[in-house]
A and B are shown apart, each in its own frame.
Chain A
């Protein structure tokens, strides 16, 4: 590896490393999600007894975190490199630290540290125990042993690694602003993303029609239910993801009060749990094994 890996080098190195560990190198999910946990290859695949190993990059949207591309660390959309190991291997930690070395972080000469972090995703009814991994004080990964998804105890437990790609790249490249990250030689993050960040931030905070988003939300909720009634779990789940995204938009737009928030999160969780339950009940997994 070169002295100063680009973001692209980092992704390739992680793919190579986890591919060699037997992971399926999957592609990002093609719907708006807030984190890799929403990818069906995490959410559904964590359920049930079937072993599963997967790695993928997931672009993740957080409308309320948009800063017009001005803030050095915060983005409307950032990129997670997500790894799921099911069942959780006894050497999960060792595998992870070796992956850091694979992307050029010399763990011997940095202060790599694990600090407790009890992770949860209230919208997905998912919880886990683990750590945020800090490298010289910068959080670079969320390391979680999944305990529950959709309110169901996982049997077996799986390991979820979520690398914050922008954080890692900024750290390795020694740059202070996310826009200065080198995506590939001669191409900066700014060149690829500044306009997107600006426009999507402007849209989330000012441009989006609150009225229409409420309408989208309600229609998507209806559609999700209708699909689930026909036992079409994945379409139901896709519409639920839309609900979740539009909820985040409305939240960024300041259209949801603190108390209402809890109510809507509960509603989305109930839908997610219903999808998960249906998926587990038919027991066929993704492979249509009867």
Chain B
């Protein structure tokens, strides 16, 4: 058993981006573990810690030496290794590689042939001699989203590396990185403890204590706790504390101290969204609430200081926050001088996209489209409000507040629509909801009016961009149209808006008279279809079920298709579902290979009674199928196919040969099977695509490309 020692390693940096610290620490730990394993050095208890100015790795126990291993290595055959009794290049090279002299090589018989062998001793190196190379290599391999150079040296890092500490037990490990040598001293807080801090051993406890004396809290969890405690001490209500902001602040400071400040209560007149954005996003400060849960005229900021002169720092924060809010108040007062309705006209000067005109043009199109969509979905009652919301939707782009705080676009539209224009809540809310969902995880519009406006706006953008040749191609999607397509589909399903995409896209295209309607329409539908596959996948629909419903032109009624796919998933274990699918599969298989002229089935040309039975059963089913599908009665539709068509068809396949000599009979038979298959696919789904050779619940095979 070799002796172990603790190991301590610190990379001292200039202030790192807050978001980089945790990922860097994780990489440091895992690369270290990998490298120790590779080097065959036993380690136990790896910990990583960080502040904005340092990454620290501690290893509680590290073997002082690599274990020694003896290994026998086989070399070249002796007839190659020696010529005329003299060693050849093969022999010398082997000895050199094995690290031994020629005279200690042994000859040994392997399967009747003599080979050279060497006994090689590996390992045994002192860890302290291996660590410099290993640690420098690890630092060079740490990755960050953006890195930089800072000196005439090859290493890149998120920010300049300024010092290194490397100690094994009590001994300095001579790590060197581009001329920067590790030492036995670290640094405390930049301003509160500017003198170097001596490191005498690899003890993490000691380091933590010494750094604490030098105003550095090494553990981010502790810094977060301190922030939370101090926020609470200043009266912050636990449920109102933004945990994400706590984390960000903890990664920006080494010695967190919460400062409480206040601003003129008159500024509370500002809309809550403005106050929150100005405080949180722009000043990384926490809002303060009163007992009723309303915003109070105060804030809490996290300083990187001990607050020895708290009033001075507080005054600074109060001045900057008051200035920012006073700015906002100025915009708020200015903006309210003009109604959104009057602002719409100013949108004539704001370009949406060079080829797609101004935002004025866009709002006109979206208003008309929202109306058309409302009619398609049977939501005529919402049409006026939707058109009004669409008309006003972009007017806030001309306000000073949105110019200053672009992230408040939509939010200010809602606020001004209520306060200045006196619009009803349903119109005002829809202006904000139009932007939802902003991403895959964002909430959808809550109101029906918002849903219609949001779908109309997105559809107009997708259709317009595709018409202008700006649509997605391959991996390029400069206008993020796929994301918008996904939003359209999610809203349609969630709000049970029933329309066919073809008709909706057609209505959107009607606003672009110059566009090649057929070509653009097909492109847009292809984009939507691609996203709809994602929607189904995310809803847990198996691949083959998804393919089956998408194979039917009826897929364009996406809301119905979504429910259909869900229903088919629940029917997978049902025997009748298997039967219904078999019907399709057999019709498909036999007609796919055959050559025949498609055409109408002639019942008078039936020869066999079994044919007539199938045709009669099918005719009945064909009449009842649409009604079942109209009511989302997927189980009923499957039941119809299984009960009425599957049995006679089964008997038919048993008793009738389809491919007979007689051309008229054969063609009529093929036409009937084709008609059954095509009708079901057209109205319902390509049930033949459903895969049953798997245990229920098992994942379907991924499709071959």
Contacts and interface: CB of A to CB of B under 8 A. Distances in A.
Contacts of A97: 190-191
Interface stretch (A105-113, A234-242, A275-283): A105-113
B573 interface: no
Contact of A72 (B18, B149, B315, B327): B327
B153 to A, nearest CB: 10
B691 interface: no
A131 interface: yes
Interface in A149-179: 155-157, 171, 174, 176
A113 B151 CA distance: 23
B174 to A, nearest CB: 20
Nearest to A134: B320
A116 B301 contact: no
Nearest to B404: A74
B160 interface: yes
A176 B319 contact: yes
Interface residues of A, number: 39
B148 A111 contact: no
Nearest to B191: A107
B150 A136 contact: no
Contacts of A110: 305, 312-313, 316
B316 A145 contact: no
Contact of A147 (B149, B259, B301, B316): B149
Given A145-B160, A257-B351, A137 B320 contact: yes
B118 interface: no
B308 A109 contact: yes
B14 interface: yes
A185 interface: no
A174 B151 contact: no
A87 B327 contact: no
B312 A88 contact: no
A113 B252 contact: yes
Most buried by B among A87, A113, A131, A136: A136
Contacts of A290: none
A172 B532 CA distance: 58
A234 to B, nearest CB: 28
B321 to A, nearest CB: 7
A88 B354 contact: no
Contacts of B164: none
Interface string A107-131: 1111111111010000000001101
A211 interface: no
Contact of A112 (B18, B191, B283): B191
Contacts of B447: none
A260 interface: yes
Interface string A169-205: 0010010100000000000000000000000000000
Most buried by B among A109, A112, A128, A259: A109
Given A93-B14, A129-B159, A131-B15, A111 B151 contact: no
B301 A137 contact: yes
B398 to A, nearest CB: 11
Most buried by B among A90, A108, A128: A108
A71 B327 contact: yes
A207 interface: no
A136 B313 contact: yes
Interface in B13-28: 14-18
A38 to B, nearest CB: 22
Interface string B299-316: 001011100110011011
B321 A137 contact: yes
Contacts of A118: 146
B327 A73 contact: yes
A109 B283 CA distance: 19
Contacts of B192: 108
Contacts of A156: 151-152
Contacts of A136: 303, 312-313, 315-317, 319-320
A8 interface: no
Interface residues of B, number: 47
Most buried by A among B146, B152, B320, B351: B320
A50 interface: no
A125 B14 CA distance: 25
B353 interface: yes
B326 interface: yes
B406 to A, nearest CB: 12
B467 to A, nearest CB: 16
B327 A135 contact: no
A209 interface: no
B149 A111 contact: no
A145 B354 CA distance: 36
Contacts of B354: 257, 259-260
A76 to B, nearest CB: 16
A107 B319 CA distance: 18
Contact of B148 (A73, A87, A147): A147
A107 B191 CA distance: 6
B90 interface: no
A70 to B, nearest CB: 8
B14 A111 contact: no
A171 to B, nearest CB: 7
Contacts of B353: 258-259
B281 to A, nearest CB: 13
Interface in A216-251: none
Contacts of A111: 259, 303-305, 313, 316-317
Contacts of A135: 316
A109 B327 CA distance: 28
Interface in B332-372: 349, 351, 353-354
Most buried by B among A97, A116, A135: A116
Contacts of A90: 151, 160, 162
B316 A137 contact: yes
19 contacts: A72-B326, A87-B151, A90-B151, A90-B160, A97-B191, A107-B191, A111-B303, A111-B304, A111-B305, A113-B253, A113-B304, A114-B15, A136-B312, A137-B283, A137-B317, A137-B320, A254-B349, A258-B351, A259-B353
Interface of A: 71-73, 87-88, 90, 93, 97, 107-116, 118, 128-129, 131, 135-138, 145, 147, 155-157, 171, 174, 176, 254, 257-260
Given A71-B327, A73-B327, A138-B316, 10 more contacts: A71-B330, A88-B150, A93-B14, A129-B158, A129-B159, A135-B316, A137-B285, A157-B148, A259-B351, A259-B354
3 nearest A-B residue pairs (beta carbon): A136-B316, A257-B351, A116-B17
